[in-house]
Structure 1
Amino acid sequence: MKLHDFFKSFLEDHVNLNSTRLTLLEDSIVAVENAVRALSWGPKIVSFAPQGSWAHETIIKPQSGQPFDADLLVFVEAKEGWTPKDYVNNLVTELARLPAYEGKVRRFSHCATIEYAGERKIDVAPCVVNRLYDGQYEVCNRSTDEFEASAPLEYTLWVKDKNGVAGGNDLKKVTRLLKYMRDIKGNFTCPSFLLTTLMGLQVYESDRGSAEFADLTTTLKTLVGRLDDWLQARPNVPTVPNPKLLQEDQAIGWGQSQYSNFRDKINLYRGWIDEAYAENDRDESIGKWQRVFGDNFAAGEAKRAAEAVSESATGGGLVRDGHFRDLVEKVKALGPAAVPATLRRLPHVRRPTWRRGSDQYTVKITAELRTGKYGGALRPVRSAEPLQAGHWVSFTAENSMGVRFSDDYKVEWRVTNTDKVAARAGALRGEFYSSDDRSARSEQLSYRGVHFVEAFLVRKRDNRLVGQSEPFYVVIE
């Protein structure tokens, strides 16, 4: 499902840089421009311009504890006798002398960076114009002491033009979503400028008004699909020319292992996005979108659905007509058949992230009631059998012959709680947990409700999912 409202609030609440921080950034930029204009650092200043994600409007909210940053270009005329390192070194030296920036200025290869107590950073980069001919732009590499050709204004216009073709500012929004996904997952590397180019390359002039860009979610599906196709056709690190400066290869810093990993992850996430988009069940679709973007996507809705499983409201409650106080009472009275199939599709239930293996095995769960985690066994337990809180249950995963799996496999357990008591305790769970002892795991009975445990069989040598049990329902009175 497209879930437009959830994407809108997700962007506003978790992805986009909030207005307070934008105001701080803009105020800081004005102050920096004024400070640089007042410096006696050598070259004549022509103008200033934003660069990078700030200029392209793809800047995102940083992860907790991390600063957000912006790039500011200061265009200057060439100063006779100066080499590239002089522009950066003198800018850093003079900025650092100002009381307002004392202790805040750091020197990097192409810029002076002003750091504001871990909250934000501004990179100020000199760009020399018309040094050899009119219309020439060069940034300064102080490490190599070389001028490097640049096309900052033309590139920004290219990004904006591509965004206009896609329509609805959706290219910018998709780029923000992918940067957010990169940052929260932390399992692939792609610099923001390169990601921006790769996404822009997937938008063609013929796409104006296309149904493939009808809305944000459709645009996301279209662009990630095209990017995956482009990457799969290129097993080795490709050349990615700057579209406005063809001699610049933006992928030059990508090693083969980094590229191969990025290629693999985009292929995986493309499948997840396609599944979430195609899913017709609302709760299942929310859960699948959470697999892509994390728990912050539709978080409030996921909690609401989990704690509402026993509501008896007409026209959709799981407990009908007020005959039962909650779902526990209904299952006690009517047996396992009263457990709704929708329970396992609740949004807060984590969807598997392993790729499926071509071979699949039967996985069954047996369970035993115990006095404690390592206590004595009391008796076997059946799925959906009502149990008292306080005891422990030991779950074991077995094959179709009732035998545990070999050490070639690991068993991961998805443990999910539901209903109001667990929700109020902040214990809805739904995550995956390792086995305590090869293919067994123990859980304490704590919260009234109908909960469930599932076993996932993962082959160790290739980390493929090769088996999944049916849910074992745990009914706690």
Structure 2
Amino acid sequence: MTARTKEFNLFLRDYVNLDATRTSTLHARVSAVNSFIAGHEDLAVVVTDDVIPQGSFAHKTIIRPFSGNDFDADVLVPMDEQDDWEPKQYTQALHKALQSSARYRDMAVLGKRCVKLDYAGDFHIDLVPFVTRDDGNTYITHRTRNEFIRQDPVAYTAWFEDNNRTTHGHLVRVVRLMKYLRDRSSIQVPSVVLSALLAERVRSFAGVDDYANVASTLTSLVKALHEYVDPMLTPPWVDDRIGQNLADRLTPSGFENLQSQVKTWSRLMTEALDADADESVEKWRKLFGESFGSTTREAGESGALLASASSHYEKTLAPGEQDIEKDHGILLSLDPRQRVRVVGRMSANSKGSGRYRPLSGRGNHVPVGRSLRFSVEDCTVTEPYDVYWKVRNAGEEAARRQSFRGEIRKRGHEITETSSFHGEHWVEVWIVKDRIAVATDIQDVTILPN
């Protein structure tokens, strides 16, 4: 097997991923509109919390726009049910508030399920009213039909994040690569359906090498998807995590094209992964074109910036970052039978008060100035054992401040941190028994700018 880790990292960076400038701009604009909504007096009694990223924004699977198309980011606007409001009034109230702003007036477009903020350039933000009703369930609203629609994107995002953890973060990269292939093929499959079909193929009991790197994860999941859909005569049921079918938006002809393309892609991926080192790049080019493996520019003028790009690359060591084996003399020998989860939660407000909310349902997005708690949960290793932690800052702001951190310390089952500055960060944990690290997990944290 030839992983071609460097080639995949550079291909993702240069041709697939949303670039850093667009990502930073998107984060800043989401933060700005969140601040506007939170401070608007007419919405104060309705809006109950910060906006919540959903869809490809929450899952970090937005890719570079293809052939002049724009990209969008969906965010939920949490609202409490109002006794005297019809469903359409939630979208109307949000639109009215935005219309009152000189900043947003000319870009706010009233849609059926959302208010779209259409920015100059190549992207827009869809603000979706997200209503918790008296029955305790969550709904979005359809303005023109004046009805509530039962949905729980937060539950879906948490499920997707759990599967991404199982693949050591590679599921996100696989979805990006598959969206790249889709956009250059004849298939018409919505991103949410494609992402869900791939996430459903993740198995916690998969072979130890199945999710070792991007190439093996891509090949494993696409092969599993081919085996799943190939014998089907009609589109499958794709659960939205509350018992509704996401694939009802997939046409029969679209599904047939997907079956055909996935069969071809699976064969080409298997051949490329199994190829000798001197042949593998050419094999991958049959899938991704001549651009794959052709980049000669290094992944950044600064090794620190390369190491910081957690959402774009394999995680690599930053200057001064510690290694569990080299710096602590602990053997890394992960036991595939053992499991641990580090669960991050954030405070409800900057004062650190209120109920702490899990990060997973928000796509691990956190405003600046929140208290963060990270706990070891769902650990199958029998005690006694030691817990080692690493907190890693990343991104351009961490590089500017020379604050990557990355020290490893033996601590308890829970640690507390603060979301101090913008960037892609993460917290890593190891369960160490008899000086051997037998289980590990990573909680990503994307801190949005002020």
Category of TM-score, reference length = shorter chain = 0.5 to 0.7
Match of 2:109 in 1: 106
Asked whether the 8 Å contact 1:57–1:172 carries over to 2, the reply is yes
Match of 1:179 in 2: 179
Distance 1:177 1:80 in 2: 45
- Any idea what SS the aligned residue of 1:252 has? helix
The runs of 5 or more residues in structure 2 that have no matched partner are 297-450
Report Cα offsets for 1:94-127 as digits up to 9, x if no partner.
Answer: 3133211232122222111111113221110000
Query: Measured at CA, do residues 296 and 97 of structure 1 come closer, stay the same or move farther in structure 2, by a change above 3 Å?
Result: farther
2:299 is the alignment partner of 1:296: no
Match of 1:34 in 2: 35
- Any idea what SS the aligned residue of 1:117 has? coil
Count of aligned pairs: 293
After TM superposition, the score normalised by the length of structure 1 is 0.59
Asked whether the 8 Å contact 1:66–1:118 carries over to 2, the reply is no
Q: What is the letter of the counterpart of residue 261 of structure 1? A: N
Match of 1:256 in 2: 252
Distance 1:143 1:263 in 2: 35
Q: What is the letter of the counterpart of residue 240 of structure 1? A: V
Asked whether the 8 Å contact 2:108–2:118 carries over to 1, the reply is yes
Report Cα offsets for 1:235-269 as digits up to 9, x if no partner.
Answer: 21222121x211x1101111111111111111111
Query: Measured at CA, do residues 9 and 139 of structure 1 come closer, stay the same or move farther in structure 2, by a change above 3 Å?
Result: same
Q: CA deviation at 1:10?
A: 0.8
Q: CA deviation at 1:83?
A: 1.7
State the structure with more CA Rg.
1
Q: What is the letter of the counterpart of residue 144 of structure 2? A: S
Q: 1:224 aligns with which of 222, 231, 236?
A: 222
Match of 1:88 in 2: 91
Q: CA deviation at 1:40?
A: 4.8
After TM superposition, the score normalised by the length of structure 2 is 0.62
Which stretch shifts more, 267-276 or 60-69? 60-69
Distance 2:203 2:5 in 1: 24
Match of 1:236 in 2: 234
Between the aligned residues of both structures, percent identity stands at 30
2:135 is the alignment partner of 1:133: yes
Q: Taking CA–CA contacts closer than 8 Å with sequence separation of 6 or more, which of the two structures ends up with the larger relative contact order?
A: 2
Q: What is the letter of the counterpart of residue 221 of structure 1? A: T
Report Cα offsets for 1:312-370 as digits up to 9, x if no partner.
Answer: xxxxxxxxxxxxxxxxxxxxxxxxxxxxxxxxxxxxxxxxxxxxxxxxxxxxxxxxxxx
Asked whether the 8 Å contact 2:76–2:129 carries over to 1, the reply is yes
Distance 2:102 2:54 in 1: 26
Distance 1:40 1:189 in 2: 43
Match of 2:409 in 1: none
Distance 2:107 2:185 in 1: 28
Asked whether the 8 Å contact 2:114–2:128 carries over to 1, the reply is yes
Q: CA deviation at 1:281?
A: 5.7
CA RMSD of aligned residues (A): 1.8
Asked whether the 8 Å contact 1:72–1:124 carries over to 2, the reply is yes
Q: What is the letter of the counterpart of residue 37 of structure 2? A: V
Match of 2:315 in 1: none
Distance 1:195 1:18 in 2: 22
Distance 1:239 1:141 in 2: 24
Match of 2:203 in 1: 204
Report Cα offsets for 1:364-421 as digits up to 9, x if no partner.
Answer: xxxxxxxxxxxxxxxxxxxxxxxxxxxxxxxxxxxxxxxxxxxxxxxxxxxxxxxxxx
Query: Measured at CA, do residues 295 and 115 of structure 1 come closer, stay the same or move farther in structure 2, by a change above 3 Å?
Result: farther
Match of 2:242 in 1: 245
2:299 is the alignment partner of 1:268: no
Distance 1:186 1:210 in 2: 32
Distance 2:111 2:182 in 1: 24
